[in-house]
Each structure stands twice: as C-alpha cells, then as structure tokens.
Amino acid sequence: MSKKNDEEYRDRIVQMVECDKDTFHFFHSVSDNVFFQLSGELLPDISGDPLEYLSGSGLIDEQSMPVFSVFCSKIREGIANGTDKNHTSVDISIKLPGSDEFRMCHLYGMFLRDESGKITDIHYDLRPYTPIECFNRDVLRMFSSDKNPKLFSERCKKVITDNPDKEIAFIQFDIERFKLINETYGVEVGDELLQFINDTLALACTDEQPFCRLTADVFMIVTAFESKVRLLKFITGIENMLSGYNGMKYRMTFGVCIVEDRTAHTRQHGDNASLARQLIKGNALQNIGFFSNDMKADLHKKKSIEDDMKKALQNNEFVMFLQPKYSISTGRIIGAEALARWNHPQKGMISPADFIPMFEQNGFIIKLDTFIWDEACRRIRRWIDNGITPVPISVNISREYVHSFDVTTMLLKLVEKHDIPISLLELEITESIDSVGVEDIVKKMKNAGFKMLMDDFGSGYSSLNMLKSTPFDVLKIDKSFLDEFMESSRGRKIIEHTITMSRDIGLDIIAEGVENVEQALFLSHCGCDSAQGFYYSKPIPADDFERKLLEINGK
Ligand code: C2E
Ligand code: CA
Ligand code: CA
C-alpha cells in the first residue's frame, strides 16, 4: 500500500471505528514507533504496545497463550525481517473487562507497507465473536480441511492446478516419541499440544497452503514454492513456531515429497512424504527427509530386517566382534570395544549401521545390547579361567533406553553373574548437547564403579563446554574429528589443545578411527597414547581377538 493509500486507509478506519464500537482498533506506526488507540470501548485505554499489554494483562485464557505468542512473534518477525503476507490473525479466548467469562475473539493484524515493501504500520483489531459466530466457527472447524480428508484432498488438487509454474511440496510431519509426551505429561497436555499445532498451522499457512491432521500426531501441509531454499525456510519457520510449547522438549520429523507427476492421485504424494518421514526418523543429524524413488527399496529392506530380527536372537545370529585398542608407544593391546554383527543366514554379515538405528527406534536394541554385554562379560570370565591376562572390554550403551530401562542394575547383575572385576567392563555412551538428563545417568553408572567413556567426541554433537562438569573418565575422539582437523595446521593445533586440556582436567583420551601411521604418530606427539582403528585392526571375531591378544601381550 502506498503512503497516499495509507492515509485513505486510516481515514476509512477512523470512520469505521465510529460505527463499530464492538471492535477494538489500534494503530502501530512502525516507522516512528508510535502507538495510538482508535477505539477504546472494548479494552481500557492502552498507551503502549497492545500486544505487550495483552501478554501481561492476565486476560488471555492460558490455553490461548501459546498461539497468542506465535502471533506476537510473527508480528515481530514481520517488522524485523519483512514478510510476504498482508495480514496475520488468530483466535484467542479472552476475558473482556467487566466480565468473568472468557469470550472467543478474533485478533487481526494488518500490515501496511511503503513502496519498497517495508512494513510501515500495523493495524490491529480485536473483535469478540457473536454467539452465532462462535457456533458457526465451531461448525466450520469441524468441517474444515484439518478434520476432513476429502476436502483436504480437493484443496491439494487445487494447489497443483492453480500453480502450473511452481513446484508443489507435500510436507508431512510428526512429533518424535509423542507417546512419551502423553506418558510424561498426561493425555490432556498431549491433546493441548496437538490443538496448539493445529492453531499455529492455521496462523502460519495461507489459504493456498492447506493443512490437515492425518492421524494422532501426524500433520500434512501442501504448498507451492519457488525454490528449494524458500521451501526449507518455510519448513524451518513452521518448526520454530511449533517447538517449545509450554517449555516442553520435543523434536519433529519432516518428510517431503516434491510432486513430479501432477496427474497422480494426491494420496500418492502423501504416501511418499510419509515414507520420507519414516525413513529419516531416528536420524540424529537431520530431521527433514526428501522422498526419492530409492526409498521404496530401502523401506522394503527395513521391513525384511524387522521381520527377521526376533528369530535372529533365538538362532544366535548376532555375534560380538572385538576391536582392539592399542598403546601407541608400546604396541600392546590395552583393551577392546565390543561391536555387534549380524550373521544373517541369507544376507551374510550385516553391519550395525544397517540395523542399530532401526533397533533403536523399535526398542529391540535393549535385547541386543543386553546380549552383547553378557557376551563381553562371558569372554572376560573365560580369559580369567584360562589364565590369560584380561584387558577391559568396553560396550556401547544407546541413549535411546537409558531413561526407561535401569541399565546400571542390569550391568551390575551381569558383572555379578559372571563374577568379574567391575574394572574390566567399561561403558561407552554418546553425550551430546541435545541429550536431556544423560549426565545423571552417567553419574549413576560411574558411582556404581564403571569406567565411563564419552563416545564420538567432536563428531559435531558435543562441545568443549560440556567438559567442564562432565562425569566421564575417558574421551573418545571421533574419527571425523581426527580426519577433519588433521588436514590443516590450525586443525592439528585444535586436536593438540583438546588433548592437553582434557588431560589437565583429569580426563583420559583415546582416539578412534586411526587409519594410518601419521595419525598414530601425531596423536602420540600430542600426548594421546591410546588408539583404536583400522591401522591397528578392524573389529574381529572374539576368538581371533583372543589369539591376537596372546600373540601380542603374551599370557
Ligand atoms: P561406534 O561406537 O563409534 O563404533 C566405532 C565404529 O567405527 C565401528 O563401526 C568400527 O568398525 C568403526 N571403525 C573403527 N575404526 C575405524 C577406522 O579406522 N576407520 C573406519 N572407517 N571405521 C572405523 P561399526 O562396528 O560399524 O559400528 C557402528 C556404530 O554402531 C557404532 O559406532 C555404534 O554406535 C553402533 N554399534 C555397534 N555395535 C553396537 C552395539 O552392540 N550396541 C549399540 N548400542 N550400538 C552399537
Ligand atoms: Ca562406541
Ligand atoms: Ca565412536
């Protein structure tokens, strides 16, 4: 809107206000940061920012607060970075002065711009719905596309036909471990969260971006887009708005299908988006997956592995491999890491990368890990019985189950069952910035007597900051850290200092993924004497490890 149009608009509003006493009108002149109230019958006189007033007034129903906050942040974001929308609006339930009851109101913010598109003014109005409107609104909600898949499908088709020059994306998302939210906070809170998502989507999506709640916590949005960058911006924008409802922590997973065949049934695009979402689930590094045709084959593979998994444990198809850990200076074996392998009757040896993430999702990992821990203890017992000087074996603990399953007690039982010194069973666990409460669990394990190794240090998910209060005994430097930083002299300095600093605060260091002699020599020069990697040995069957141990260390 141009300046002249702006003034006309204001005049129109002033006229409107005179005859529209039920609506609260407010102007915010953004360019000179002045607020002026045009109609004061609905709310008392407000001198400053009406949104701030409303936030602190206690008039808004608690349940409406989250969507109201999203509305405010959309306004702020629009002022700071611009927006391509002309307005934004939200339904909130508020207590009007002089009344004790909450009333559903429509809060509307209209953006006025200068020639360059910058927002100069915002016109707010807040209008209570009449009883008949409230009724209509509820009816409308019931039949609107978010609850009505048929209507949704029609609207999706329309997006495709209305935008022949643009690309179309079907975006499906859900909340990871939504069940856990229901269990932790109660079903009511789970329902509130879903309502919040629904209301926020209504706020974030335009009329040309239909959305729908498909099942429990699965939502779908369809949008036309101009470039992949803008699409990603849209998705991350949605993610930001939806995260942190009432301070809860949860992660969302997005699956995206970019429409190729515009004549295909919309359900097919939806199914593809769903596939992309399911395959990205559990990935610690990414939460947005794009559909590709290869995915169908991947899903098939995943399904067949899931079918075989239960039989595999009974048929003893899982085996424990051991990868030796070496002292760089003496060349002696100082320990081993237990790594699972699946010896599949048809598929041969399957590597953990192909089944561990899936087992972590479906919970089977607890069974597999308990089996591996038991095997590790059994092997140590065997060494002791056979007069072989034992070395400690470290086992992997998945973060997935540490909150729901008492790992410490289970491990103590195994140590007792096999009657081995607790110092010979070490535990590896990945610590990362986003892990909630792992620290307490690590402390518990350490207090029980286990030596604790922080796995994958420097893989991008850990930070130096964490070292300050860490309950770990040993840092395991990740292969990617070593590879990336070994390349430049600056990087080598970083490795050197990380090692020195860790040692200064009493942490031991081991490097994993050591593949050549240069790396081994460099680590040794930096003061790190322990290494594990293909340069020394790949993970090998436990019997082979035992032979190697005897050969190198002697009895
Ligand atoms: P991780 O715990 O970081 O294990 C180290 C991985 O690095 C192993 O892969 C090992 O074979 C590989 N590796 C060791 N040295 C080198 C090297 O010099 N070069 C290269 N390129 N790779 C090296 P693996 O056995 O495939 O295991 C992958 C991941 O699967 C493990 O990463 C761990 O997170 C998980 N995993 C494996 N076994 C178990 C298990 O029994 N329980 C659980 N919870 N996780 C497991
Ligand atoms: Ca490990
Ligand atoms: Ca590791």
Percent of the chain with pLDDT over 70: 90
- Average pLDDT on 236-252 reads 85
The Cα 278–Cα 358 span in angstroms is 11
Residue closest by Cα to atom 10 of ligand 1? 539
Q: Ligand 1 atom 30: the closest Cα is on which residue? A: 352
Please name which of 232, 243, 4, 32 lies closest in space to residue 121, comparing C-alpha atoms: 32
| Coil vs helix vs strand at 375 | helix
- Give the residue among 515, 465, 507 at the shortest CA–CA distance from 486: 515
Q: Ligand 1 atom 33: the closest Cα is on which residue?
A: 396
In ligand 1, which atom is closest to the CA atom of 514? 18
The Å distance, Cα 339 to ligand 1 centre, comes to: 6
Q: Output the CATH code of domain 3-129.
A: 3.30.450.20
Distance, CA 337 to ligand 2 centroid (Å)? Answer: 7
Tens digits of per-residue pLDDT, 132-141?
777 666 655 6
CATH of domain 300-553: 3.20.20.450
Mutational test site, ligand 1, from 396, 398, 532, max ligand atoms within 8 Å of CB: 396
Q: b vs e for 45-74, b when ≥16 Cβ sit within 10 Å of the residue's Cβ?
A: ebeebbbebbeeeebbeeebebbbbbbbeb
What are 242's two structure tokens? 């939806």
What is the tens place of the pLDDT at every residue in 302-319?
788 888 998 999 899 999
Higher per-residue pLDDT: 555 or 535? 535
More confident site: 2 or 325: 325
- Give the type of residue at 159: V
Fill in the amino acid letter for 155. R
Q: Is the dihedral of CA 445, 447, 450, 456 positive or negative?
A: positive
- Structure letter (DSSP) for residue 534: T
Whether 6 has a pLDDT exceeding 70, the answer reads no
**35's tokens:** 């607020």
The pLDDT value given to residue 249: 75
pLDDT at residue 17 is higher than 80: no
Average pLDDT on 61-81 reads 87
Q: What is the pLDDT at residue 514?
A: 97
- Structure confidence at residue 1 (pLDDT): 44
- Residue having the nearest C-alpha atom to atom 34 of ligand 1: 396
- The alpha carbon of 324 and the centre of ligand 1 are apart by a number of angstroms equal to 12
Distance 466 CA to ligand 1 centre (A): 23
- Bigger pLDDT: 252 or 283? 252
User: How wide is the angle at C-alpha 245 spanned by C-alphas 286 and 406, nearest 5°?
Assistant: 65
Beta carbons of 509 and 334 less than 8 angstroms apart: no
pLDDT for residue 284 is more than 90 = no
Q: Which atom of ligand 1 is nearest to the CA of 512?
A: 15
Any idea which ligand is nearest the CA of 457?
3
| CATH fold match for the domains 3-129 and 145-292 | no
Lowest mean pLDDT segment, chosen from 14-23, 233-242, 289-298, 476-485: 14-23
The pLDDT value recorded for residue 286 is 83
Q: Which residue's alpha carbon is nearest to atom 2 within ligand 1?
A: 396
- Domain residues of the chain, as ranges? 3-129, 145-292, 300-553
Counting from 1 in the atom list of ligand 1, the atom nearest the Cα of 359 is 44
How many A from CA of 478 to the centre of ligand 3? 6
Q: Which residue has a Cα nearest atom 21 of ligand 1? A: 513
Of the listed ligands, the closest to the CA of 458 is 3
Q: Which residue has tokens 């079918």?
A: 307
Choice between 438 and 539, residue whose per-residue pLDDT is larger: 539
CB 373, CB 396: distance < 8 Å: no
Q: Count how many Cα atoms sit within 13 Å of the Cα of residue 300 in the half-sphere of its side chain.
A: 5
Averaged over 75-98, what is the pLDDT? 83
Cβ neighbourhood burial of 116 (10 Å; 0-12, 13-18, 19+): exposed
Higher-confidence residue of 489 and 85: namely 489
Q: What is the mean pLDDT of residues 474-497?
A: 90
Q: What is the C-alpha separation between 61 and 78, in angstroms, rounded?
A: 25
Question: Of 309, 339, 545, which is best to mutate to test ligand 1, by the most ligand atoms within 8 angstroms of its C-beta?
Answer: 339
> pLDDT by residue (tens digit) across 501-548?
888 888 999 999 999 999 999 999 999 999 999 999 999 999 999 999
- The pLDDT score that the predictor gives to residue 140 is 57
Mean pLDDT of the chain: 87
Atom of ligand 1 nearest to the CA of 341: 38
pLDDT of residue 295: 83
Q: Specify the ligand 1 atom closest to the Cα of 372.
A: 41
Tell me how far CA of residue 275 lies from CA of 172, 201, 288, in angstroms: 9, 22, 12
Q: Give the binding-site residues of ligand 1, using a 6 Å CB cut-off.
A: 323, 339-340, 351-353, 356, 365, 369, 372, 396, 398, 428, 455-456, 479, 512-515, 532-534, 539
Give the pTM: 0.61
pLDDT digits (tens, 9 = 90+) for 209-229: 999 888 778 999 999 999 999
Q: Which atom of ligand 1 is nearest to the CA of 476?
A: 3
Q: Which ligand does the CA of 533 lie closest to?
A: 1
Q: Tell me yes or no: is domain 145-292 CATH 3.30.70.270.
A: yes
